[in-house]
Amino acid sequence: MSGHSKWATIKRKKGKLDAERGKIFTRHIKEITVAAREGGGDPDANPRLRTAIAAAKASNMPQDNIKRAILKGTGELPGVTYEAITYEGYGPGGVAIYMEVFTDNKNRVVADIRHLLSKYGGNLGANGCVAWMFEKKGIVTVELDAVDEDTLMEIATEAGAEDIVTDSGSYEIITQPSDVDKVRMALEEKNIPMVSAEVTMQPTNTVKLEKESEASSMLKLYELLEEHDDIQKIYANFDIDEALLEKLA
């Protein structure tokens, strides 16, 4: 299981998602704004914007917020201009970390990331140093009780899905990045609710953290990076045994 999935599981157990709703909305707004700026404000002609809007709606973000974010992206309303940047580095135990950032202050965010990585036994690397360890994939998540596996498999494969795996109490439908929107729309047509539909970076290999000190530092580092306002998404290739994970949670 990827570090991203591991930490998502921990967050669900801690019940933090509702408490972070404001931060989740901020991330959706940034994604919608950047998607509208780069591909236009018409969701029918902009798959990235369509997916961003669907994710925002799944988090119960008000429609007015979505509209304003689109208008800011197209320049019809004044707003902050975000620069999209990626940063790469290493965490405790040599864990690879890949971060997608939307920021209006590049100098601030790079200083913050460098400080956090250094504080928890890692370091910031050059572009490309860990990107090769990840593969871009579409992931559509559906709760186990939302649909039976055979029905889900039939709908998803017809829409272009590559595979379906069961993980942490849910189905994860794996697609090529260009097909995630097709799968999402196919499920919507069948009224099958989804937890999320996104393009993500899946690690091609993992680093197992067996020392409690390294595992604890990695989880704390991941949490602090994820809480940073400018870091939109973070991916890491760590793995931790369930017993140690429960001990640290």
> What confidence tens digit (pLDDT) does each residue in 197-245 have?
888 899 999 999 999 999 999 999 998 998 898 998 999 999 988 888 8
Give the mean model confidence (pLDDT) for residues 45-55. 90
C-alpha–C-alpha distance, residues 18 and 92, integer Å: 29
Which amino acid would we find at residue 199?
V
pTM greater than 0.75: yes
What distance separates the 2 farthest-apart alpha carbons in the chain?
Answer: 52
Between 245 and 42, name the one with better pLDDT: 42
C-alpha–C-alpha distance, residues 127 and 178, integer Å: 24
| pLDDT above 80: residue 169 | no
**What residue ranges define each of the domains in the chain, with the CATH number in brackets?**
3-74 (1.10.10.200), 84-132+205-241 (3.30.70.980), 134-203 (3.30.70.980)
Q: Locate 229 and state its tokens.
A: 């306002």
